[in-house]
Structure 1
Amino acid sequence: MTDHTRKRRHDVPEEQKWNLDDLFSSEEAWENAYKKLQKQIPDMNAYRGRLHEGANVLLACLETEEKLQESLIPIITYAQLQMATDGTDPKNQSRQGKARALKSEYNQAVAFISSEIIALSEGTIARFLKEAPDLHNYDAPIQNILQEQPYAFSKESEEILAALGEVHHAPLKIYEQSKSADVTFSPFQDDAGEERPVSFALYEDKYEFSSKTTIRRKAYEAFIDGLRHYQNTYASTYDTEVKKQVITARLRGHGSVTDMLLHNQNVPQDIYHQQLDTIYRDLAPHMQRYAKLKQRVLGLETMTFADIKAPLDPHYEPEISYNDAAETILEALNVMGSEYVTIMEKGLYEGWVDRANNIGKQTGAFCSSPYGAHPYILLTWTNMMRGTFVLAHELGHAGHFYLANQHQRVGSVRPSTYMIEAPSTMNEMLLARHLLNKSDDGNMKRWVILSLLDTYYHNFVTHLLEGAFQREVYTVAEKGETLTVQTLNELKYEVLSGFWGDAMTLDDGAALTWMRQPHYYMGLYPYTYSAGLTASTAVSEKIATEGQPAVDQWLSMLKAGGTMEPIDLLQKGGVDMSSSAPIKKAVRYVGTLIDELEESFL
């Protein structure tokens, strides 16, 4: 059924779109850059099989690869961003396909670098670094390559895998394409008998937060019914992704797929399990109290999965324009100093943000930060105050990579995904503190506490439970079992019921939440949301009490990019994540927020 409530992309006002001219001034400019890079990629052949010859050969190879990478990133990003804003446009689909093919060509052309560096002895590398000091510009990527030495295939095998890169990413591509362009939902009738359309964006950004129980539950039924039509396809797609990971881990010699995925993050298993176990165990009683409080205040006979995001204060739904939200965010982040605030101003007002709601646009929100250009933020602006937190979150990613891009070379920008969500959730924490300090209105203060709880729910519940589910999925997959719809539904249901206990009545549809996120195709990404928020909870408190010294620590971490391992990076930023203490402290803080809510509703 056609969605008549949303515009076509070409009808969206320009001020609601991001400015892709900052990447390429025209489609022709993109095509020219594409063709130019396609001709340059074979330049890498001049170094193939020669990296052992001397320091200058290795240096020249790395410099050439770096220039290619700097050219590739905007080409890929432009295609991805166009696709994200309208996945139904055949031109966008075609461009995305071309970009992925080019990336595969690039990956195949540079694959020999890793295998040839791995083949060098420690003594040879030490000598090369002494003979060509500029090689130290590539310390981080060289060390990352050397860490793969125990798990590397032969040079020929690595090149074959690189050539198949586009195929390896097919499960995620299929999932995203299906979700943005193919999945349809039947409308539902509201209490007035009016027909309401359903889409991913409408359900997850609007109906799920409705103050009207019948709207939430009818929308949920229509949404779940739509998902069921695709559950077998999505199960097969996800099963393919997991099988790929399990087989790759086994062939490379990792102890398990979890070992492999954590190795990529530079995170020890004990820290991974500590993050999942501590929150799953310690947060559950607080969130069960929260669910029961909602049930009591909203007068619900039963608390269902469709009700958990219902507003606790339905008569207080503050609205805010984009410009007012931008001003509020800048006020909140003033504590971070002029350098950081200037970046935020650019992000808010200079074409970094796409906030339109058009047909074919990707749901949710993200920030893409291409090297050599400014970041791009995608979200759907609905004039609801909660969108201010989403915008602040994505600006946190933008500020992080804007600074890292300025201070690091392209191969040393990205840190481990373990700490990626720390800078983004830091902005949310600072926004909440600002709003609480600024307002004398009891209703507003309660709304901010509820918004903070939304942040913790998103990171400590939604994504943490995704992480707990993933852990179970990999346990099953390691045994060689196929991930059928029944298996995935049972695993998700068990994780949800174990966390919520008797505080929530779960139906079979709740188990289908594994179909709603692309994160499962991104390795062990979901649990890192909770790690990031744990860190930002601790450091935002330090900033409130210590001021500039704590800010300086945090900014130095952002600028360091990917030059350190994640635990060391966060230590540089002001928090020790090797201990469970910050996790327990953050969980206790959530408990105090719920305490305040319970008192406010007495």
Structure 2
Amino acid sequence: MNQVPKRSEAPAEYRWKLEDLFASEAQWDAEYAKVREQIGEIGKFEGKLSDAAAIAECFKLEDELSLATERLYVYANMRHHEDMAEGKYQALSEKAKKLSVEVNEALSFITPEILSLSEEKLAALTEDPSLPATYKRTLREMLREKPHTLSKNEESLLAQVGNVSQAPSTIFGMMNNADMKFPKVKNEKGEEVELTHGRYIQFLESRNRDVRKEAFKAVYETYGKWRNTLAATLNANVTKNLFYANARHYPSALEMSLFGDNIPVSVYDNLISTVHEHLPLMHRYMALRKKLLKVDELHMYDLFAPLVEEFDMEIPYDEAKKIVFDSLAPLGDGYRKVLQSGFDEGWIDVYENEGKRSGAYSWGAYGTHPYVLLNHKDNLNSMFTLAHEMGHALHSYYSDENNEYRNAQYTIFLAEVASTLNEALLMNYLLDKSTDPKEKMYLLTYYADQFRTTVFRQTMFAEFEKIVHGKAESGEALTPNELCQIYYDLNVKYYGDGMEVDKDIEMEWARIPHFYTSFYVYKYATGFSAATSFAKQILDEGQPAVDRYLGFLKSGGSDYSINILKKAGVDMSSPEPIAQAMSVFEGLIEEMEKLTEGR
């Protein structure tokens, strides 16, 4: 195994250029000092935010402060991520974090003070011609939130409850990550190995069925021993959601969680009902999986088993860049010109080095090009990661170029669309070019499993959350047995009669951390569906669809997410985008069935 290089040994052409954000540490220090001064200035507006002139001046300073703090924070943390063990940047990161907290505290009076104005006064301000459009939009958003904002004393009380409300999530995290110990299981070589969260998926991907089965049983038996405690913890989280929904006058916990993005409940319900209509496709994919694995019965522990014999695609980084560039040709020359700038001009930190943060992300601050952190390996997965993260980066680039600071940040609801669309176009390109049946099958199963895990599985999670909260809201008790039954029945429904739904799976709800960030997972499924729908439109229609898509990228956060998508030709309140995604999934299954004929 080659030694991982130190940061200082990483070649310059494969490192990001953070100097584009701050040319020197001295420049960072100067900006830091300026922000510290401005923190004192913001206080002069307290008690005076009752007319358009004062509000405009205050918002202007708020934007200056927020942007400068964001730049300082992003730079310090990206330096820290280059080598997490480097003390100098650990300290810089901490310094930026503390400043960020101070700035947020200094700005915290603005929203409550404006919300204390009468509804009439606030409504008049949203129409005031002397205010810039972006400020009027902020005020309209505050007016929308006003019915759910409480008196100063009540808000103060809710803020104090904040730490207590974190308890279910904190307790689950400690129990799941620190206290829960799994037994030893046998690996492929017959060696006894301690089972961990990280190793569990590796075991489920094993070619040896006994290894998969033993790991599966061991995990759920362990959770089963704690079923009462874990049910009580999840119950406490549901109770917390109901408390906040009630306190803030929302009709339900679901409506409260969708309110921030202004997403109608119909979008959530529509996702579930449209996926239900297309469950026969999932059942068909399970039948194909059973055939390819050559098993008499398909079990839950067979879901991650590889369907094709080992197939390694060696793709060096420079080749990966070229393939990604070529695959995104349908998006036009303008898009690819920006992409090439990203490749050539120091946006990307490519390879692993000692102490570097793991994983991959796209990040940055308004006013400077985005940055991408990778830990590139020369394989297919890393090439998809490159396409994915550059999708995020170009979304940020277009958003920043076309919007003022206040409107540039897109929501989480939209965040995964641009990244997943790039992956869809890359996959389409690779499948078109592939002549090797083995390679083609490898790609098809890779893509089909993304549909299974991102659309079907996340929708099943979303449905579980909806059922559980609905029962609690109607006064029913969520006993361990009840939670297990709901979860088991959903698995039977989603995987179909051709699957042996092992009883052990009834405990899976107990190991899903996302259930403590309630009503979040549906965004994975809607984002994937929207991206697949965009890709289909771009490949079918060409330029008109490309123009609509680029309009989406340029919109940033200038309107509500659902409206931005609708204008671009993807209406998430209708079944169509999900149905379009499902037609792509059906096409994959048909291709796989053709390749397996005669097996």
TM-score for the superposition, normalised by structure 1: 0.82
In 2, Cα distance between the equivalents of 1:413 and 1:589? Answer: 32
Measured against aligned partners, the alpha-carbon deviations of 1:50-72 in whole angstroms (never above 9, x if no partner) come to 111x2210001111111222133
Q: Aligned match of 1:469 in 459, 464, 476?
A: 464
Shift of 1:508: 5.4
Q: Aligned match of 2:281 in 260, 264, 286?
A: 286
Q: How does 1:248-263 map to 2 (within 5 A)?
A: 248-263=244-259
Q: Residues 111 and 159 of structure 1 are in contact (CA less than 8 Å); yes or no, is this contact kept in structure 2?
A: no
Q: Residues 242 and 477 of structure 1 are in contact (CA less than 8 Å); yes or no, is this contact kept in structure 2?
A: yes
Matched, 1:273 2:269: yes
User: Which position in structure 2 is the counterpart of 1:333?
Assistant: 328
Q: Aligned AA for 2:339?
A: M
Q: Which moved more, 1:282-291 or 1:386-395?
A: 386-395
Q: Which moved more, 1:491-500 or 1:459-468?
A: 491-500
Shift of 1:561: 1.0
Q: Aligned AA for 1:50?
A: K
In 2, Cα distance between the equivalents of 1:300 and 1:242? Answer: 40
Q: Aligned AA for 2:274?
A: T
The alpha-carbon distance between structure 1 residues 217 and 399, as it changes in their structure 2 partners (threshold 3 A), is farther
Q: Residues 52 and 125 of structure 2 are in contact (CA less than 8 Å); yes or no, is this contact kept in structure 1?
A: yes
The alpha-carbon distance between structure 1 residues 550 and 67, as it changes in their structure 2 partners (threshold 3 A), is same
Q: Aligned AA for 1:70?
A: L
Tell me, what secondary structure is at the counterpart of 1:434? helix
The alpha-carbon distance between structure 1 residues 11 and 353, as it changes in their structure 2 partners (threshold 3 A), is closer
The alpha-carbon distance between structure 1 residues 83 and 570, as it changes in their structure 2 partners (threshold 3 A), is same
Q: Aligned match of 2:63 in 63, 66, 73?
A: 66
Q: Which moved more, 1:154-163 or 1:466-475?
A: 154-163
In 2, Cα distance between the equivalents of 1:167 and 1:541? Answer: 46
The unaligned stretches of length 5 or more in structure 1 are none
The alpha-carbon distance between structure 1 residues 70 and 487, as it changes in their structure 2 partners (threshold 3 A), is farther
Q: Aligned AA for 2:188?
A: D
User: Which position in structure 2 is the counterpart of 1:391?
Assistant: 386
Shift of 1:415: 3.6
Shift of 1:256: 0.7
Q: Aligned match of 1:111 in 108, 133, 139?
A: 108
Q: How does 1:183-262 map to 2 (within 5 A)?
A: 188-194=185-191, 200-201=197-198, 203-204=200-201, 206-218=202-214, 220=216, 239-262=235-258
Q: Aligned AA for 2:41?
A: D
User: Which position in structure 2 is the counterpart of 1:352?
Assistant: 348
Q: Residues 259 and 269 of structure 1 are in contact (CA less than 8 Å); yes or no, is this contact kept in structure 2?
A: yes
Q: Residues 329 and 388 of structure 1 are in contact (CA less than 8 Å); yes or no, is this contact kept in structure 2?
A: yes
User: Which position in structure 2 is the counterpart of 1:537?
Assistant: 532
Q: How does 1:360-399 map to 2 (within 5 A)?
A: 366-377=361-372, 381=376, 383-399=378-394
Q: Aligned match of 1:135 in 102, 121, 132?
A: 132
Q: Which moved more, 1:485-494 or 1:330-339?
A: 485-494
Q: Residues 361 and 374 of structure 2 are in contact (CA less than 8 Å); yes or no, is this contact kept in structure 1?
A: yes
User: Which position in structure 2 is the counterpart of 1:447?
Assistant: 442
Tell me, what secondary structure is at the counterpart of 1:535? helix
In 1, Cα distance between the equivalents of 2:240 and 2:30? Answer: 35
Q: Aligned match of 1:147 in 140, 144, 163?
A: 144
Shift of 1:534: 2.2
In 1, Cα distance between the equivalents of 2:508 and 2:353? Answer: 23
Q: Aligned AA for 1:249?
A: A
Task: Give the number of aligned pairs.
Answer: 594
User: Which position in structure 1 is the counterpart of 2:402?
Assistant: 407
Matched, 1:569 2:555: no
Q: Residues 126 and 137 of structure 2 are in contact (CA less than 8 Å); yes or no, is this contact kept in structure 1?
A: no
The alpha-carbon distance between structure 1 residues 285 and 126, as it changes in their structure 2 partners (threshold 3 A), is closer
Shift of 1:378: 5.6
Q: Aligned match of 2:48 in 47, 50, 55?
A: 50
Q: Residues 426 and 537 of structure 1 are in contact (CA less than 8 Å); yes or no, is this contact kept in structure 2?
A: yes
In 1, Cα distance between the equivalents of 2:478 and 2:212? Answer: 30
Q: Residues 7 and 357 of structure 1 are in contact (CA less than 8 Å); yes or no, is this contact kept in structure 2?
A: no
Q: Residues 6 and 359 of structure 1 are in contact (CA less than 8 Å); yes or no, is this contact kept in structure 2?
A: no
Q: Which moved more, 1:470-479 or 1:266-275?
A: 470-479
CA RMSD of aligned residues (A): 4.3
Q: Which moved more, 1:400-409 or 1:60-69?
A: 400-409
The unaligned stretches of length 5 or more in structure 2 are none
Measured against aligned partners, the alpha-carbon deviations of 1:504-527 in whole angstroms (never above 9, x if no partner) come to 334455345446655434442211
Q: Residues 391 and 419 of structure 2 are in contact (CA less than 8 Å); yes or no, is this contact kept in structure 1?
A: yes
Tell me, what secondary structure is at the counterpart of 1:502? coil
Measured against aligned partners, the alpha-carbon deviations of 1:198-252 in whole angstroms (never above 9, x if no partner) come to 6545554x55444443454455456657777988887666555443332111101
Q: Aligned AA for 2:447?
A: L
Q: Residues 45 and 58 of structure 2 are in contact (CA less than 8 Å); yes or no, is this contact kept in structure 1?
A: yes
The alpha-carbon distance between structure 1 residues 388 and 473, as it changes in their structure 2 partners (threshold 3 A), is farther
Q: Which moved more, 1:553-562 or 1:372-381?
A: 372-381
Q: Aligned AA for 1:275?
A: L
Q: Residues 187 and 203 of structure 2 are in contact (CA less than 8 Å); yes or no, is this contact kept in structure 1?
A: no
Tell me, what secondary structure is at the counterpart of 1:402? helix
In 1, Cα distance between the equivalents of 2:367 and 2:172? Answer: 30
The alpha-carbon distance between structure 1 residues 357 and 14, as it changes in their structure 2 partners (threshold 3 A), is closer
The alpha-carbon distance between structure 1 residues 135 and 438, as it changes in their structure 2 partners (threshold 3 A), is same
In 2, Cα distance between the equivalents of 1:485 and 1:544? Answer: 48
Measured against aligned partners, the alpha-carbon deviations of 1:167-198 in whole angstroms (never above 9, x if no partner) come to 76676677778878887766644333456676
The alpha-carbon distance between structure 1 residues 328 and 166, as it changes in their structure 2 partners (threshold 3 A), is farther
In 1, Cα distance between the equivalents of 2:170 and 2:358? Answer: 13
The alpha-carbon distance between structure 1 residues 216 and 14, as it changes in their structure 2 partners (threshold 3 A), is farther
Matched, 1:308 2:306: no
Q: Residues 567 and 577 of structure 1 are in contact (CA less than 8 Å); yes or no, is this contact kept in structure 2?
A: yes
The alpha-carbon distance between structure 1 residues 223 and 112, as it changes in their structure 2 partners (threshold 3 A), is same
The alpha-carbon distance between structure 1 residues 551 and 227, as it changes in their structure 2 partners (threshold 3 A), is farther
Q: How does 1:73-92 map to 2 (within 5 A)?
A: 73-77=70-74
TM-score for the superposition, normalised by structure 2: 0.83
Q: Aligned AA for 1:591?
A: E
In 1, Cα distance between the equivalents of 2:122 and 2:426? Answer: 47
In 2, Cα distance between the equivalents of 1:7 and 1:506? Answer: 45
Q: Which moved more, 1:554-563 or 1:376-385?
A: 376-385
Matched, 1:600 2:595: yes
The alpha-carbon distance between structure 1 residues 9 and 483, as it changes in their structure 2 partners (threshold 3 A), is farther
User: Which position in structure 2 is the counterpart of 1:432?
Assistant: 427
In 2, Cα distance between the equivalents of 1:85 and 1:516? Answer: 32
In 2, Cα distance between the equivalents of 1:477 and 1:324? Answer: 53
Shift of 1:277: 1.9
Measured against aligned partners, the alpha-carbon deviations of 1:139-170 in whole angstroms (never above 9, x if no partner) come to 33222222101111124544665687677667
Shift of 1:46: 1.5
Tell me, what secondary structure is at the counterpart of 1:153? coil
User: Which position in structure 2 is the counterpart of 1:501?
Assistant: 496
